[in-house]
Amino acid sequence: VLFSSLLAGGITRTIMRSVRELRQGTERLRKGDLEVQIEPRGNDELGDLAISFNEMTSDLRRMISEVTIKERLEREIEIARRIQIHLLPTVLPERPTLQVGAHSDPAFEVGGDYYDCIDLGEKGLLVVLGDVSGKGVGAAVLMSNLQASLSLLATQNLPMNEMVRQLNVQVCKNSTPEMFITFFAGLFDPEREILTYVNAGHDVPFLIRRGKPISLEIGGMLLGIMEDGEYTSAEIDIHAGDLFAAYSDGLTEAMNDSDVEFGRDRLIQTMDEFKHLDPHLLVTKVLQTIRDYAGHERAGRDDLTLITVKVIES
Average pLDDT of the segment spanning 119-143: 86
For the cut 80, the answer to whether the pLDDT of residue 81 exceeds it is no
Do the domain assignments include residue 99? yes
Do the domain assignments include residue 82? no
Same domain membership, residue 38 and residue 154: no
Any residues with CB less than 8 A from the CB of 242 and at least 6 apart, and which? 207, 208, 209, 310, 311
For the cut 50, the answer to whether the pLDDT of residue 7 exceeds it is no
Contact status, residue 198 vs residue 187, Cβ threshold 8 Å: no
Same domain membership, residue 129 and residue 9: no
Please give the distance of CA 193 from its chain centroid, rounded to a whole number: 35
CB burial string 175-203: b at 16+ within 10 A, e below: beeebbbbbbbbbbbbeeeebbbbbbbbb
Least confident interval from 74-83, 90-99, 105-114, 145-154: 74-83
For the cut 90, the answer to whether the pLDDT of residue 51 exceeds it is no
Do the domain assignments include residue 154? yes
Give me the DSSP letters along 193-218. TEEEEEEEB----EEEETTEEEE---
Do the domain assignments include residue 215? yes
- CA-based nearest residue to 165, from 177, 175, 153: 153
Do the domain assignments include residue 213? yes
Whole-prediction pTM:
0.76
pLDDT tens by residue, 295-307: 866 655 678 899 9
Average pLDDT of the segment spanning 3-25: 53
For the cut 80, the answer to whether the pLDDT of residue 109 exceeds it is no
Same domain membership, residue 186 and residue 57: no
Domain range for 42 is 2-77
Same domain membership, residue 125 and residue 253: yes
Same domain membership, residue 41 and residue 127: no
Q: Find the helix or strand (DSSP H, E) in which 70 lies.
A: helix 45-87
Do the domain assignments include residue 86? no
pLDDT tens by residue, 182-217: 999 999 999 999 999 999 999 999 999 999 999 999
Q: Find the helix or strand (DSSP H, E) in which 187 lies.
A: strand 181-189
Same domain membership, residue 150 and residue 19: no
Number of domains composing the chain: 2
Contact status, residue 22 vs residue 54, Cβ threshold 8 Å: no
